[in-house]
Amino acid sequence: MKAFAAATRQIRKRVDLATLPFVQETANVILLGAPEVGKTHLAVALGIEAIRHGIGVFCNRSYSGGTPEEGLRRL
């Protein structure tokens, strides 16, 4: 049941992101996670939704070698 509750929380977070609240807050979204968990897929979906609302989109890969912390500093 713990796994189901965790998955439900993750789905809820994705739905919240889909309403683009971070745009009104002028905040950035940073997606972190293991390989092959859907970060890029989610980023593309959010970008498409933003474009549908007339919002410009910029995507950047923060981790291209080194540590994740170094990647964040490059942003």
Counted residue by residue, the chain has a size of 75
The end-to-end CA distance of the chain, in Å, is 38
Question: Which one is predicted more confidently, 55 or 14?
Answer: 55
Model's pTM, two decimal places? 0.61
Chain centre to alpha carbon of residue 52: 17
Confidence of residue 46 (pLDDT cuts 50, 70, 90): confident
Q: What is the pLDDT of residue 51?
A: 92
Q: What is the pLDDT of residue 13?
A: 60
Question: Which one is predicted more confidently, 65 or 36?
Answer: 36
Tokens, residue 75: 């942003």
- Under DSSP, is residue 16 helix (H, G, I), strand (E, B) or coil? helix
Q: What is the pLDDT of residue 4?
A: 44
Give the Cα separation of 14 and 24 in Å (integer): 17
Tens digit of each residue's pLDDT (9 = 90 or more) over 1-27:
455 455 556 655 665 777 788 788 888
The stretches of the chain forming alpha helices (DSSP H) are 2-18, 21-24, 39-52, 68-74
